[in-house]
Chains A and B, each alone.
Chain A
Amino acid sequence: MKALRIAAAALLIIAAIGAIGAKYFAPSGYAHQFRETPDASPSGQHPLGTDELGRDRFARLLYGMRVSLLLAPLAAAVATALAAFLGGIAGYFGGWIERCLMVVVDLFLCIPWLFLLITVRAVLPLNISPEASVVVTFTLLGLLGWAASARVICAGTRDMMKSEFVWLARASGFSGLKLLRLHLLPNLKPTLLAQFWISIPVFIIAEANLGVLGLGVSEPLPSLGSLLRELQQMVTLRPEPWQFVPLLVLILVVSSFQTLLNKHEVRV
């Protein structure tokens, strides 16, 4: 299992290097069209062939990984910060404040996340620039994906508020921000980090689902989700094996995150 974790970490590092250095590894830009060779098969010039618009699939995959791998952690950071804020308030104050905030958490948890995400994304304008669509998609993921983490953080804060060291700190005159900064936050750090790492693969998958349904990142900007839209053609046309490479990359990246997280779960 240790070897598997090392392999997962290596794969994520390779994916991150490929995504960050897309400019150097990709044979062309993600929007560059080779108009004389649309729908080309893999060759030395185009390792994964070209799409129907003549764009290099390998270049789009690298740039797509950049969008998904860099922005999913940002969305996870937003979600974790929101969860820490609301869950922390609920756990710190307790009583009716906790009950009211937990009703809001229950609301977000009871409506299936993808249902909520598709509804919210569908009511936003579709004719926005590709860059704005990236921001909208991942901001939405961050703003809607905090509820489960908030419950965990609330429970952690509540337990901590009953612990002896917090009682001692309060008896010594610590309260409010000082208590939060010196005692609660440092002890909540492992929980916050665990929630952050758990959210990343969830957000990558959610973006992929939105991308396939046409509600994710807009063309011509690629993301792992928008690259999967090409698979919709396979219902009517015979799929080529290299069209499945983005799916394979997505599965490998998310599985690697899950493999590394399993270790974390055992520790927690």
Chain B
Amino acid sequence: MLRSLSLGFLRLLAIMVLAGLLGATLMRIAPGFGSDEQQLNSSLSSQSIQAIRQARLADSDIPRYYGHYFASLIRGDLGISQSLNQPVRDLLRDRLPVTLRSIGIALSLAWFLGLALAMAGQLLNSTAFTFLSEGLSGTFISTPAAVLALLFVLLRLPPELAAALLVFPKIYRYCHNLLQQSYGLPHVLTARAKGAGRWRILTWHVAPTALPQLLALVGVSISIVIGVLLPIEVICDVPGIGQLAWQAAESRDLPLLVNLTLVVAFITVCATMLSDAARRRFVRSAA
């Protein structure tokens, strides 16, 4: 138990360090790095311009930047956003709850819709219903998130619903395939042959087999919904971390982008680890 926990923590740490390093490297090689619009401000004195230039140059040395960054991180200081001129911690405090709320709503809706359609498809066993469900999921899986966001702005619908509609096809298809496989297992066929009802087969025989894999999908679906929320937040003007990441990428705001990359990596890795742990616990308790 302790060994798996420490291994998980090491994996999380390695991914976080790599994610941050990747973000910093990307910004370092970006054109325009090290220059600041403030340097063109004629009302600033030469000393101020020199100070701005020095501050930018200090960020260009990646190992030095990282050493400084981790030292500040331990003190709880995430740096100052260069484009918004605000502490990154304050920006994250304001924006993260908005995105977390969107993730919660979108995931709940997507899981409800995906699971309900997949289960209904198995219970009804109707070709027409499966055809309609496949058509619906196929349409949304083929629609770019940015276009659906535009349509939602036009129709004045909640952006969380757009995110849910984009994520549900992946959940539906996975659940549909999983349930189909589970219904073909020998013990389920035996139960059916003995005359067990549809609900009983689903709750007693199919669900316990499918649940561990569904738990693993929960973690993955969080990563999917974060990816989908980025263009939605940009186009629907939702003040979340997706919109903030977009602004940071556009204005080459290194401290903000590195912190956002770390936050997103932290959320998704933790979600995956938790869902994996839940799956393992369920499998152990079932055994």
A104 to B14 CA separation, bound complex (whole angstroms): 9
Query: Are the CB atoms of B29 and A110 closer together than 8 Å?
Result: no
* Cβ-neighbour of B145 out of A209, A262, A265 (below 8 A): A209
B264 interfacial by beta-carbon distance below 8 Å: yes
Interface stretch of the complex, out of B62-70, B115-123, B221-229, B277-285: B221-229
Instruction: Chain A residues near B177: list those with CB within 8 A.
Output: 265
Complex CA gap A254/B257 in Å reads 32
What's the least CB distance linking B60 to chain A, in Å? 14
Query: What 1/0 flags go to B105-133 for Cβ under 8 Å of A?
Result: 00000000000000000000000000000
With A111-B261, A112-B264, A250-B142 known as contacts, the answer to whether A212 contacts B231 (CB < 8 A) is yes
Q: Are B142 and A251 in contact (CB under 8 A)?
A: yes
Q: How far is the CA of A104 from the CA of B15 in the complex (A)?
A: 7
Binary per-residue interface labels of chain A (139-171) against chain B in the complex, 1 for a CB within 8 Å, 0 otherwise:
000000000000000000000000000000000
Q: CA–CA, A232 to B269, complex, Å?
A: 34
Q: Top 5 nearest A-B pairs by Cβ distance?
A: A112-B227, A254-B142, A123-B30, A212-B146, A122-B249
Contacts of B23 in A (CB 8 A): 119
Q: Which residues of A contact B (CB under 8 A)?
A: 103-104, 106-107, 109-115, 118-120, 122-125, 201, 205, 208-209, 212-213, 225, 228, 231-232, 234-235, 239, 247, 250-255, 258-259, 262, 265
The reply to whether the CB of B197 lies closer than 8 angstroms to some CB of chain A is no
- Measured between alpha carbons, how far is A258 from B27 in the docked complex, in Å? 36
Cα(A106)–Cα(B11), bound, Å: 9
B138-163 contact mask (Cβ, 8 Å, vs A): 1 or 0: 11011111110010011000000000
From residue A207, how far is it (CB to closest CB) to chain B in Å?
Answer: 9
A112 in contact with B231 given A122-B249, A254-B141 (CB within 8 Å): no
CB contact between A103 and one of B11, B134, B230 (< 8 Å): that residue? B11
Name the residue on B nearest A114 (C-beta). B227
> Does B250 interact with chain A (Cβ within 8 Å)?
yes
Q: Kindly state the separation between the CA atoms of A170 and B101 in the bound complex, as whole angstroms.
A: 55
SS class of chain A's interface: helix, strand, loop or mixed? helix
Complex CA–CA separation, A125 to B252 (angstroms): 11
For B138, the closest partner residue in chain A by CB is A255
- Chain B residues near A228 (CB, 8 Å)? 144, 146-147
Instruction: Mark B154-182 against chain A: 1 for CB-CB distance below 8 A, else 0.
Output: 10000000000000000000000100000
Residues of B bordering A, CB below 8 Å: 11, 14-15, 18-19, 22-23, 26-27, 29-31, 134, 138-139, 141-147, 150, 153-154, 177, 223-224, 226-228, 230-231, 234-235, 242, 245-246, 249-250, 252, 257, 261, 264-265, 268-269, 272
Nearest-neighbor residue (CB-CB) of A110 within chain B: B268
Inter-chain contacts of B22 with A (CB < 8 A): 107
Given A115-B264, A235-B154, A106:B145 Cβ within 8 A: no
Q: How far is the CA of A112 from the CA of B221 in the complex (A)?
A: 10
Query: Contacts A111-B261, A255-B138; is A119 near B26 (CB within 8 Å)?
Result: yes
Q: How many angstroms between the C-alpha atoms of A248 and B257 in the bound complex?
A: 35
Find B227's partner among A113, A213, A262 (CB 8 Å cutoff): A113
In the assembled complex, the Cα of A212 lies from the Cα of B15 at a distance in Å of 30
Q: How far is the CA of A205 from the CA of B154 in the complex (A)?
A: 21
Complex contact B146–A107 (CB within 8 A) = no
Partner pick for B144 among A118, A124, A212, A255, CB 8 A cutoff: A212
A18 and B198 CA atoms in complex are apart in Å by: 48
In the assembled complex, how far is the CB of residue A90 from the closest CB belonging to chain B, in whole angstroms? 15
What distance in Å separates the Cβ of B279 from its nearest Cβ neighbour in chain A?
Answer: 16
Contact A115 B245 (CB under 8 A): yes
C-alpha gap A122/B269 in the complex (Å): 24
* B269 pairs with A110, CB closer than 8 A: yes
- Apart from the given pairs A110-B265, A254-B141, 9 other A-B contacts in the complex at a CB distance below 8 Å: A106-B15, A107-B19, A112-B228, A119-B249, A205-B142, A208-B147, A209-B231, A212-B231, A213-B246
A118: B residues at CB distance < 8 A: 230-231, 245-246, 249
- Distance of A159 Cα from B142 Cα, bound (Å): 33
A115 touches B230 (CB 8 A): yes
Q: A108 to B144, alpha carbons, bound, how many Å? A: 21
B58 to chain A, nearest CB (A): 19
Chain A residues with CB under 8 A of B144: 205, 208-209, 212, 225, 228, 250
Contacts A123-B252, A208-B144 given: A112-B30 contact, CB under 8 Å? Answer: no
* A123/B226 in contact, CB under 8 A: no
Question: What A residues does B31 contact at CB under 8 A?
Answer: 123-125
**Please, which residues of chain A bring their CB within 8 A of the CB of B153?**
235
B144 to chain A, nearest CB (A): 4
Beta-carbon nearest neighbor of B223 in chain A = A112
For B245, the closest partner residue in chain A by CB is A115
When C-beta atoms are compared, the residue in chain B nearest to A224 turns out to be: B144
A-B contacts, 12 listed (Cβ < 8 Å):
A103-B15, A106-B269, A110-B268, A112-B223, A115-B227, A123-B252, A205-B144, A208-B147, A212-B146, A213-B234, A234-B150, A255-B139
Cα of A103 to Cα of B13 in the assembled complex, Å: 10
